[in-house]
Amino acid sequence: MKKKKVFALMMAATLALSLAGCGGSSSGDSKSSGSSDSSSVANKDKPLCWFNRQPSNSSTGELDKEALNFNKDTYYVGFDANQGAELQGEMVVDYIKANADKIDRNGDGVIGYVLAIGDIGHNDSIARTRGVRAALGTGVKEGDEVASKPAGTNVDGKAKVVQDAKIDVNGKEYTVRELASQEMKNSAGATWDAATAGNAIGTWEASFGDQIDIVVSNNDGMGMSMFNAWAKDNKVPTFGYDANSDAVAAIAEGYGGTISQHADVQAYLTLRVLRNALDGADVDTGIGTADDAGNCLKEGEDYRYSEEEKSYYALNVAVTADNYKDFTDSTKVYDKVSKQLDSSKSPSKKVWLDIYNASDNFLSSTYQPLLENYDDLLNLKVDYIGGDGQTESNITNRLGNPNEYDAFAINMVKTDNASAYTSLLSK
C-alpha cells in the first residue's frame, strides 16, 4: 500500500529564528554509523523504530529490553501513556464538577459511567483505565497499582475491581459508580474494536440506560461508535482518546472531550530517528537540536526521552469545548518540524513500515497521513503495509525481502511479538 499523494509544504522564512529556541539534547546518545547502501548493510544492523505499540509483556507490562536494544539504531516512539491517562481522568472529573446537576439524568444522586476498554494486555489501555478510575476515585488497588481489569456489569456496585466513590459539587454529594466495563474484542480476536463497543452500549442501554450519565472510552474509535449508536441522541457526554478528526468535530455536538497524543510529533519522530541513523547523524538532530533546515522540538513540552528505555514519548493535550477548534485538522504537520531536508545531505532511502490494523481509525486516518506528509520532507520512500489487526503473520509474511530496504518501522499486533520481526531481520 504505497502512498501516492505528494503534499506541498511551505519552507520557513528564517532559519535563525527556528535555531534560536533549540538547545542541546539531554539524551547523551552517540552518533550512528555513516550512511550506507542497503545491500551492504546486514538487515540486523539496519535502523529500526518500534512505534505505537511498545515491545513489552502484555501480562505484566514489563518492557522487552532485548527488542528495544535489537541494535544500536533501535528506538521506540509513542506517547506518555501515564501523563495522557491522568489528563483524561482529570478531564472527566472537571466535566462532572461543572455539570453534575445536568448529567445526573435520573436524579438518583449517582453519576454512573460505562467504560470501553481497548485491550486488557496493552500498556496504553491499562494506563487509561487506571487513569480514569484513579481520578474518579473508583479504582481499587491491586498491589501498588489501580486495578485495570474489566468490571463486567456493576449496577449494584458490588464488583471487586472497582468501588463507589464520592464527589462533592457545590455542597451536594454524589456517588460515582462504574456501571459496566468490558474489553472491546470481536469474535475474530481483534481488540479496540469499534463495532463491539457500539454493540456493548446497546446492551447496556437496554439493561440500565437511564442510569448511564457518562460514557468513557480508551480511544475515540470506540467512543465515537458508542456516541453515534446511543449517547449523542440521549445527550450523554462521551470522552475518548486520540483526537481523531471525527471525534474533535463531534465536540460541537455533545462529545465531551478527547486527548491529543500529539500524533504529529509521534509520526515525525518515527521517521526522524530512522533518518538520523541513515545519515550517520546524532539521534537528537532535528529533535532536541535543530537540524540544518531548522526543524526542532522542545523537550518537556512536545516530548520526553528515556535513555534507559531508548524511547521517545510525545506529550498529550486535553481537547474540550474550550479549544477543540485548534485540533480540527489531525493530519497537519507540526509547524516546528515542517521544513524540507536537503536531499544532497539526506539522500532518498527506502523504508518498510507497517500499520498493524488498516481499519483502525486513528492509525489509518490520522497517523498514516501524517507519516505520508513527513516522509516527503525527510526524503524517505516508504512502503506502507496494512495489517488485519488480528495476526502477526498477516504482516510478517509481507516482509519477505528485507534486503530491499534501508530501515524498518514496526507496529506490532501484540506487544509480546517483537521476536516475530527481529527473527526475520536476523537471518
Q: What is the pLDDT of residue 272?
A: 99
Q: Which of 260, 285, 311 is the last residue of a domain?
A: 260
CATH assignment at residue 229: 3.40.50.2300
Is 382 within a domain? Answer: yes
Give residue 27's pLDDT band: very low, low, confident or very high (50, 70, 90).
very low
Look up the domain containing 328 and give its range: 41-81+263-386+399-425
- Own/partner contacts of 140-147, CB < 8 Å, gap of 24 or more, are none
Using the structure block, give the residue that is written with the C-alpha cell 534560536: 20
Give residue 22's pLDDT band: very low, low, confident or very high (50, 70, 90).
low
Is 239 within a domain? Answer: yes
Interval 326-360: pLDDT, tens: 999 989 999 999 999 999 999 999 999 999 999 99
311 and 250 co-located in one domain: no
Q: Which of 210, 229, 260 is the last residue of a domain?
A: 260
Contact between residue 232 and residue 203 where contact means Cβ atoms under 8 Å apart: no
Q: What is the pLDDT of residue 38?
A: 61
Is 392 within a domain? Answer: no
Give the phi and the psi of residue 397 in degrees, each rounded to 5: -65, -15
152 and 200 co-located in one domain: yes
53 and 138 co-located in one domain: no
Cα four-point dihedral sign 86, 117, 176, 206: positive
pLDDT reading at 85 higher than 90: yes
Q: What is the pLDDT of residue 60?
A: 82
63 and 113 co-located in one domain: no
Interval 229-271: pLDDT, tens: 999 999 999 999 999 999 999 999 999 999 999 999 999 999 9
Q: What is the pLDDT of residue 361?
A: 86
pLDDT reading at 28 higher than 50: no
Beta strands in 96-151 (DSSP E): 110-117, 141-142, 145-146
The rounded distance, in Å, linking the Cα atoms of 34 and 58 is: 36
DSSP 137-182: T-B-EETTEE--S--EE-TTS--SSB--EEEEETTEEEEEEEEEEE
pLDDT reading at 26 higher than 90: no
Contact between residue 260 and residue 317 where contact means Cβ atoms under 8 Å apart: yes
pLDDT reading at 20 higher than 60: no
**Cell numbers at residue 95, please?**
466535566
Percent above pLDDT 70 for the chain: 91
Q: Which of 260, 284, 318 is the last residue of a domain?
A: 260
Report the number of distinct structural domains present in the chain: 2
275 and 406 co-located in one domain: yes
